[in-house]
Amino acid sequence: MIHSAIFRSAVLGILTLSQIGCFTEAAAQIQSFSSTAASTNPADKGALGMVVNYNDQRRLYVTMVVPGGPAAKGNIATGDELLAVGATPVESLPPEQIYQMLMGAPGTHLSLSFQSPSRGNYTVTLMRVSAAQLAKSSDYKLGYQDNRSNNSANQSITPISNANAGWKTYGGQGQGFSIGCPEGWSFVQDEKTGKIEVSSPANCKLSIFPFYIPTKSIRISSATGIFTALLKQYAPGMNWSAPNTVTGALRSTAIANNRFEIAGLALSPGGDGTAGQLIIFGSPSTPQGQADVMTLSKVLESFQITGIANSGTANDSGERQGDFNDSADQTASSFATPDIQYTKFIDPNFGAFSLDVPAGWNVTGGLNKPMPIDLRPWVKAVSPDEKMAIFIGDGSIEPRYLPAAWLTRLGCPPGATYKHSNGMVSKVLFYEDAEKFVKDYARSRFGKNCDSFEIVNVEHHPELAREINGTQGVVASDAASVRYNFAAKGTHGTSFFMAATKKGPTMWWVSQICGVVAADGYEQAALQVFQRMYKSWQYNQNWEQGQAKQNVQSVQNWVAFDSAARARSAAAFSARMAAMDARHNSFMNRMRDMDASHARYMNNMRASDRAHSDFINYIHDEDTLMNPTTGEKFQVEYGPKYHWVNSTGDTVLSTDSAWGPGVNWTELVTPPKP
């Protein structure tokens, strides 16, 4: 049967990103139409005709749209994520501020930006209408009431239809599952297929299809084809989106016939085969249907895979009754949340910091201080059963120099190691944003030892980056977290890694690195331990004061050394350039001497050639002359003083007479010397 821890993780992922439910605490909910029929004085309030609520990832989604209201006319749909109000992103803003931004007088306009599963990103401008006008419509009876007082902006929005409803539980230990739903809702189980279906009076439906694939061990990463085939069989006629992986499950969405559908696939591979659950969660785009969405999500959350109680009783065949899964494959409910006690851990090296750590865990750490201002605090805690590991900081990560011309002149190009005179050894590397660094870090420190290591999601945290890195002297700053599913030596689990990086003018740092590794079923306990450790971290006040003085002196020394090093580098560079110039000038002088010698040699060769030509002509009793008009050369008899050529160039006349033979004749001359 399916591993319950995997299924619960998959359900959480499907709900968390479902876009139509799974709200946070009541104080975090926001009612954007600001008032309902229950308001005492709605006439002076503007309404947008929609409701937005937080999900577990602190994202705001439209959970209700009033037919005929401004939001409906703007084609805003249930499941759209609210990204910004005007030009202001809503991420990280407190609920009170968002509520005030959404408020306004009737007739005023407001620009909102959304992300839609079907339309992508879009922006729409709505005109607020009076809440009283909206309340007059019969369509406005949404089954929701606003408990907000005039002095509070954070009261909850409670479904009237389910506020006091009783719930019934179906299934039980002997049936392998349990699920609860309100009175008046229908529950049907197909005994042949095992299909479970829960429906609300408004036709919201939750369907769970169990299945088993024998002989094959299938992981979620290779189950896209199975997921698509199951959807075609059990949910035909829907235009499902491409499957994506969410917290160890596959997820797909579809919108058709005024219904919003979400499908999820959870798998539990084993040695003999793979068990799975197909979950389809749907809601009509009607007021009452949207009113039942939150309750339906709680129905899905209540679904548990159970087993026969391991109480030592015997069944009819005399065999001992065991748990639903064997001991090597415990369900999430069988993992008892550890009763963790905490103790104080104090930096053993300098007494620089302290924090709460689980008592009895294997805890190591301290402050590494290779140089006065290079501080690397770190702590690692591993549970006794090695199911959970948490670390904050890493003492092996040194600051890095940014590539620069002065470093290259010192023989330290990118990738080289720069050894400072004060003892610090650092790499010369280009800056990496937090996402790239944390991915490389996770794979090199943990992923390379796993059988599989798959990214689930990546998130950037600009507010956290500003909080950790500050802004003074910061050229670039980033913070990012990555979640992985892993398998190692037969153990499956989840790991989280977070890093913050910042760049200054000459160096860059990994200003924070931390992570959580947990086997299936231990994720929540591990995150609770991490939060306790992280929030309880404190620096010793006396140490901080002493370190602050040391920092000032170190910075002054550093500036002086850096200035001197740069000056020495510049002087050495200038000396090398002067020496190169001298060698270049000497080389050019030698080249000029060689050119002069070559010219003399060529002149001698030309004179020799002329003498040789004259001698040959003398031997042959000939001479070479040229027609000055055409440049044509002629071999003539050696001896006569004058030589003439006729106008056709075919007759040469040689004579000692100075008188020319006539106008049709041209006197030949000696060719110019080369």
pLDDT in tens, 26-45: 223 333 322 222 233 434 56
pLDDT at 647 over 50: yes
Q: Is 332 inside a domain boundary?
A: no
Q: State residue 251's pLDDT score.
A: 79
Say yes or no: 631 and 563 in one domain: no
pLDDT in tens, 595-644: 999 988 988 888 887 778 777 777 766 788 899 988 888 888 877 888 89
The least confident of 173-187, 368-382, 636-650 is 173-187
Cα 159 off chain centre by: 37
Quote the CA–CA distance of 35 and 476 in Å, as a whole number. 44
- pLDDT band per the 50, 70, 90 thresholds, residue 288: confident
Q: State residue 648's pLDDT score.
A: 85
Containing domain of residue 123, as a range?
A: 30-155
Q: State residue 10's pLDDT score.
A: 55
- Phi, psi of 119, deg, nearest 5: -105, -10
Domain with 253 in it: what CATH number?
A: 3.40.1000.10
Say yes or no: 535 and 591 in one domain: no
302-334: burial string, b at 16+ Cβ within 10 Å, e else: bbbbbbbeeeeeeeeeeeeeebbbeeebbbbbb
Which carries the bigger pLDDT value, residue 503 or residue 659?
Answer: 503
* Integer angstrom CA distances of residue 612 from 608, 617, 619: 6, 9, 11
Q: State residue 554's pLDDT score.
A: 67
Domain with 43 in it: what CATH number?
A: 2.30.42.10
Sheet with 538-539, side-by-side order of all strands:
342-346, 353-358, 538-539
Say yes or no: 140 and 39 in one domain: yes
- pLDDT band per the 50, 70, 90 thresholds, residue 414: very high
Read off the pLDDT of each residue in 510-525 and give the average, rounded to a whole number. 92
Say yes or no: 123 and 204 in one domain: no
Query: Looking at 593, 612, 631, which one is the last position of a domain?
Result: 612
Read off the pLDDT of each residue in 392-402 and give the average, rounded to a whole number. 93
Q: Is 320 inside a domain boundary?
A: no
Q: Is 180 inside a domain boundary?
A: yes
- pLDDT band per the 50, 70, 90 thresholds, residue 312: very low
Say yes or no: 577 and 597 in one domain: yes
Say yes or no: 546 and 492 in one domain: no
Q: State residue 606's pLDDT score.
A: 81
Q: State residue 172's pLDDT score.
A: 66
Which carries the bigger pLDDT value, residue 127 or residue 305?
Answer: 127
* Integer angstrom CA distances of residue 424 from 307, 376, 377: 60, 13, 17
Q: Is 319 inside a domain boundary?
A: no
pLDDT in tens, 199-228: 988 888 889 888 777 767 787 778 888 888
Name the DSSP class of 311. Answer: S
Q: Is 567 inside a domain boundary?
A: yes
Q: State residue 654's pLDDT score.
A: 84
- pLDDT band per the 50, 70, 90 thresholds, residue 394: very high
Q: Indicate the burial class of 616 (C-beta count within 10 angstroms; 0-12, 13-18, 19 or more).
A: exposed
Q: State residue 174's pLDDT score.
A: 57
* Integer angstrom CA distances of residue 31 from 58, 62, 69, 382: 15, 10, 14, 43
Q: Is 20 inside a domain boundary?
A: no
pLDDT at 544 over 80: yes
Helix (H, G, I), strand (E, B) or coil at 595: helix
Say yes or no: 490 and 587 in one domain: no
The least confident of 100-109, 241-250, 447-456 is 241-250
Sequence-distant (6+) residues with CB within 8 A of 177 are 171, 196, 303, 304, 305, 306
Amino acid at 198: V
The first and second tokens of residue 212, run together, are: 């088993």
- Phi, psi of 625, deg, nearest 5: -125, 170
Q: Is 411 inside a domain boundary?
A: yes
Quote the CA–CA distance of 597 and 469 in Å, as a whole number. 69
Say yes or no: 207 and 264 in one domain: yes
- pLDDT band per the 50, 70, 90 thresholds, residue 392: very high
Residue with tokens 């309340």: 135
Say yes or no: 212 and 355 in one domain: no
pLDDT in tens, 28-87: 333 332 222 223 343 456 788 887 877 656 678 887 777 778 888 898 887 788 999 998
pLDDT at 335 over 50: no
Cα 76 off chain centre by: 28
* Integer angstrom CA distances of residue 21 from 37, 167, 299: 23, 19, 11
pLDDT at 95 over 50: yes
pLDDT at 403 over 50: yes
Residues 24/287, Cβ–Cβ less than 8 Å: no
Query: Looking at 497, 521, 539, which one is the last position of a domain?
Result: 539
Q: State residue 5's pLDDT score.
A: 52
The first and second tokens of residue 240, run together, are: 């499902």
Orientation angle between helical segments 293-302 and 4-16, nearest 10 degrees: 170
The least confident of 336-340, 348-352, 391-395, 668-672 is 336-340
- pLDDT band per the 50, 70, 90 thresholds, residue 176: low
Which carries the bigger pLDDT value, residue 119 or residue 240?
Answer: 240
Q: Is 460 inside a domain boundary?
A: yes
Read off the pLDDT of each residue in 582-595 and give the average, rounded to a whole number. 91
The first and second tokens of residue 378, run together, are: 């770190």
- pLDDT band per the 50, 70, 90 thresholds, residue 500: very high
Say yes or no: 80 and 205 in one domain: no
Helix (H, G, I), strand (E, B) or coil at 361: coil
Say yes or no: 225 and 199 in one domain: yes
Say yes or no: 498 and 359 in one domain: yes
- pLDDT band per the 50, 70, 90 thresholds, residue 317: very low
Residues 281/206, Cβ–Cβ less than 8 Å: yes
Amino acid at 34: S
Task: State how many domains the chain has.
Answer: 5
Quote the CA–CA distance of 31 and 39 in Å, as a whole number. 12
Highest mean pLDDT among 338-347, 379-388, 564-573: 379-388
